[in-house]
Amino acid sequence: MRETSGAGRQYQGRSTSSLNDIMYIIGQLGIMVELSMRTLTGRFIPMSSLDATGADTLRTLEALADPKILAVNERHGDDHAVNLTKLRAVAKDLKKNQELALRLWDSGDTAGRLVSLLICRPKEFSTDQLDSMIREARTPKVTDWLINYVVKKHPDWDELRRHWLADPDDAVRAAGWSLNTFAITAAPSQIDPDSLLKSIESDMADASPRLQWNMNETLANIGIEHPDLRQRAIDIGERLGVLRDYPTPPNCTSPFAPIWIEEIVRRREAK
């Protein structure tokens, strides 16, 4: 309740006081609703920005959050705390819904964005939208799903590949290199593997980690898919030594390009 100023400080009349109390309670309820919509990344999502389905989806994802999963994901640069099998089940129940996908993406919530990428219709995005999204994707998992589940299914993926390869932002350029790897088997006529090897040889050793990883992936796939360039790819990998000492679990193939190339070729020849 509010007091009047001046000597005596008498309380305001009962009707005014009651109205103030009601308005205060309404305000507090609004704050509580906003707090309930705080995401795991600490970002507020205004209720007005989502319809009931979008808000319910984010609440469902928040209820599924597991601190242990978050701790594991944070070691890899991700910030979602939902088991991906459970997250996929949420997306499956929602079915394809482009409008909802756009709202979930705009929420900025990582788990919400992952659901968005599962329920969207890739061909309905414009190239400008996808270009903006690759720049907004803050985490490795969101970036990977955006490229693999959306961009690769878009009719203008090669236009985006060329555009991103020329971008000064390493994260965006890394997306272009991911599409280079895709093009090796999906559209070999669209790339020049010899030119790619020259770029890898000159730039990969000093590239940022994400960009370096994707360039190395392209190197290995050129060596696997192009027998005439295989030895050259192996030699480049040996000379640069990128990921030579990368910790590799038992029964998994090392990402070190020479080992990777030789192992996949051996498996294919054994069939």
Give the whole-angstrom CA distance, residue 89 versus residue 87.
Answer: 5
- Residue 155 inside a domain? The answer is no
Give the whole-angstrom CA distance, residue 194 versus residue 8.
Answer: 90
- Asked which of 9-13, 47-51, 134-138, 150-154 is least confident by mean pLDDT, the reply is 9-13
Of 75, 70, 65, 149, nearest to 105 (Cα)? Answer: 149
Give the whole-angstrom CA distance, residue 111 versus residue 122.
Answer: 18
- Residue 153 inside a domain? The answer is no
- Residue 246 inside a domain? The answer is no
Residue 159 phi/psi, 5° resolution?
A: -60, -40
Q: Across the strands, what pairs with 11?
A: 3
Q: Domain containing 28: what range?
A: 1-36
pLDDT band at 16 (very low <50, low <70, confident <90, very high): very low
The secondary structure of 201-261, three-state, reads HHHHHHCCHHHHHHHHHHHHHHHHHCHHHHHHHHHHHHHHCCCCCCCCCCCCCCCCHHHHH
Give the whole-angstrom CA distance, residue 71 versus residue 99.
Answer: 32
Given this model, what pLDDT does residue 31 score? 35
Average pLDDT taken over every residue of the chain: 87
pLDDT tens-digit series, residues 185-203: 999 999 999 999 999 999 9
pLDDT at 150 over 50: yes
Asked if 219 and 236 touch (Cβ cutoff 8 Å), the reply is yes
Output 36 or 84, whichever has higher pLDDT: 84
Given this model, what pLDDT does residue 236 score? 99
Asked if 142 and 114 touch (Cβ cutoff 8 Å), the reply is yes
Given this model, what pLDDT does residue 26 score? 44
CA distance to 148, 232, 255, 259, 261, per residue, from 237 (Å): 25, 9, 10, 9, 10
pLDDT at 36 over 60: no
Given this model, what pLDDT does residue 42 score? 36
- Residue 100 inside a domain? The answer is no
| DSSP codes of every residue in 9-67 | -PBPPHHHHHHHHHHHHHHHHHHHHHHHT--TTS----GGGS-HHHHHHHHHHHHH--H
- Residue 15 inside a domain? The answer is yes
* Stretch (H or E) spanning 191: none
The size of the chain, in residues, is 271
Given this model, what pLDDT does residue 51 score? 72
Model pTM above 0.75: yes
Q: How many domains does the chain have?
A: 1
- Residue 76 inside a domain? The answer is no
- Residue 1 inside a domain? The answer is yes
Per DSSP, the three-state class of 3 is: strand
Asked if 104 and 57 touch (Cβ cutoff 8 Å), the reply is yes
Angular region, 50: left φ>0, alpha ψ -120 to 50, beta rest? beta
* Stretch (H or E) spanning 147: none
Q: Count Cβ atoms below 10 Å from residue 176 Cβ, excluding itself.
A: 20
Give the whole-angstrom CA distance, residue 155 versus residue 163.
Answer: 15
pLDDT band at 50 (very low <50, low <70, confident <90, very high): low
- Residue 17 inside a domain? The answer is yes
pLDDT at 250 over 90: yes
